[in-house]
Amino acid sequence: MQQSITWGDAPLSWQQLNAVARGSATLALSQQAWARIDNGRAIVAQIVAQGTVAYGINTGLGALCNITLAEEELGQLSRNTLLSHACGVGEPLQTAEVRAIICAAIANYSQGKSGISAAIVQGLLDLLNHDITPQVPAQGSVGYLTHMAHIGLALIGIGEVKVGGQTLAASEALARAGLKPCNPGAKEGLSLVNGTPCMTGLSCLALGDAARLLDWADVTGAMSFEALRGQLDAFDSEILALKGSAGVQLVGTRLRALLSDSQILTGSKGLRTQDALSLRSIPQIHGACRDQFAYVARQVEAELNAATDNPLVLGTPAEWRVVSQANPHGESVAMAADQLAIALAELGSVAERRLDRLINPLVSGLPAFLVAKPGVNSGMMIAQYVAASLCGENRQLAQPAVLDNFVTSGLQEDHLSMGTSSARKLLKLAANVTQILAIEYLLAAQALDFHDAERCAAGTGQAWRRLRERVDNWQDDRWLAPEIARAAALIAADAPVISAAGICGTNKVEAF
């Protein structure tokens, strides 16, 4: 059963946006939010009636801001804005990505500072709640404009949408749902393409992916540590507390919970003075990534709860202000998304170093490439190549997009955040890390088989059993790609939860 979420009376969270974007919740706005929207729209109507010149309400846009328009032209300006700005290229965004952008736009408009009408906001809610997904080309945004323009076209019955996996004309999809196309008025075309909903919505989705990957990395890392007979002293709580990082201490707690009752590690105590850094620094590396995640989540949620249009309308219809400013500039989200990309690239990088040690008999103490009969069998040899390739791609994706800059709109917009590019590459990078952790999961489970997995700790043992329900132990070479896909599907489905007793479970009710 879908959860029902109402926005408008309290700050919004990235988790709430994820629930709506992923289809597990429906969305509504509170009475207070609708009242704010109506107040903002009344201010726009007052400005138009008085004939006061205000950017974007009765003027041209961007470099055309000094051209004043007659009242009868304002609706056509809004329509033309959507048509001219809907010029994205490339493959369409995924359904959840489009829905995330729509959610962030609704959050923006719920502030009541955009001057957009309740009818347009209701139209966006209808797209979400009737599962009508505009087809939005992925490329073409320097931070805003093109993505929301394609969404705005669907509102007026132009372009294509997806409904239940079927591609339809927007006009037909609206008619089937009993909905009428919207008729945007003064400022509404600009409000629909303006602001930071694209980068903010996509970054919220990426936060959901990152939170899950951070949790899974602790599990796969613990399995590798156990299979390589690591020394638990490195995870000592008193030592980790001296680092002064909440993330480091959290990872240490999770690792101790996963590994504390491992017979494999008990029998290997004192085997070596210290382990390689990819093993003994799991708390420090994963913890640093968690600290970055916490900072990024605060930045993205701040933007999700912001008013990001230009211009913004303030006050009441009797006493109003309209202010041209730069809230649509998404520098904070762009920098945050780039920062999280670096953190996730590091999470994948250290996982690749661990899984490389698993297949190397010079350091693992295990059969070469984790197969009982190496030579005639290549085992897990090439899986490490794949992980290395993904790490190489992640290094490219982790380059900050925010540092790129261009000049647009006839010198009027001469510094751009590139925040949507930051968010899009972050999502791609997170997908790569999912595959890297899936490979580590496969290899660590295979390595534990050589130790007798019944001697595993409770938490890692449950993770091992969950995988073995879908992927058998390797004896002879077989097609590996589908098995990586099965492991990746497990990682993509849910985030594991680790209790103090070392039991690993999903964030659903059933056990891991």
The vertex-82 CA angle with 46 and 31, nearest 5°, equals 50
Check which CATH number belongs to the domain holding 449 and give it: 1.20.200.10
pLDDT tier at 498 (50, 70, 90 boundaries)? low
Which of the residues 55, 109, 144, 441 is marked catalytic? 55
The string over 24-54, giving b where at least 16 C-beta atoms fall within 10 Å of a residue's C-beta and e elsewhere, is: ebebebeeebbebbebbbbbbbbbbeeeeeb
Tens of pLDDT along 114-172?
A: 999 999 999 999 999 999 999 999 988 887 889 999 999 999 999 999 999 899 999 99
pLDDT at 62 > cutoff 70: no
Are 161 and 220 found together in one domain? no
pLDDT computed for residue 508 by the predictor: 35
Structure-token match 């849910």, residue found: 494
Residue 417 included in any domain = yes
Are 396 and 275 found together in one domain? yes
End-of-domain residue from the set 194, 226, 245: 194
Number of domains in the chain: 2
End-of-domain residue from the set 164, 194, 224: 194
> Any catalytic annotation for residue 55?
yes
Tens of pLDDT along 420-442?
A: 899 999 999 999 999 999 999 99
Enumerate the β-bridge partners of residue 218.
none
- Please report, for residues 152, 377, 383, 477, the alpha-carbon distance to residue 373 in angstroms, rounded to integers and kept in the order given: 60, 6, 17, 10
Average pLDDT, the chain: 92
Residue 510 included in any domain = no
Are 324 and 394 found together in one domain? yes
pLDDT at 411 > cutoff 70: no
266 versus 414: the higher-pLDDT residue is: 266
Residue 512 included in any domain = no
* pLDDT (mean) for 175-189: 96
- Please report, for residues 149, 165, 168, the alpha-carbon distance to residue 83 in angstroms, rounded to integers and kept in the order given: 7, 25, 19
Q: Note whether 498 and 258 are within 8 A (CB).
A: yes
Domain residues for 80? Answer: 3-194
Are 390 and 448 found together in one domain? yes
Residue 433 included in any domain = yes
Are 313 and 229 found together in one domain? yes
Neighbour tally for 237: CB within 10 Å: 10
pLDDT at 469 > cutoff 90: yes
- Return the percentage of the chain with pLDDT > 70, whole number: 94
Residue 123 included in any domain = yes
pLDDT computed for residue 60 by the predictor: 72
Under 8 Å CB-to-CB from 259, ≥6 apart: which residues?
A: 222, 225, 226, 232, 235, 265, 457, 459, 460, 502
Are 261 and 366 found together in one domain? yes
SS3 27: strand
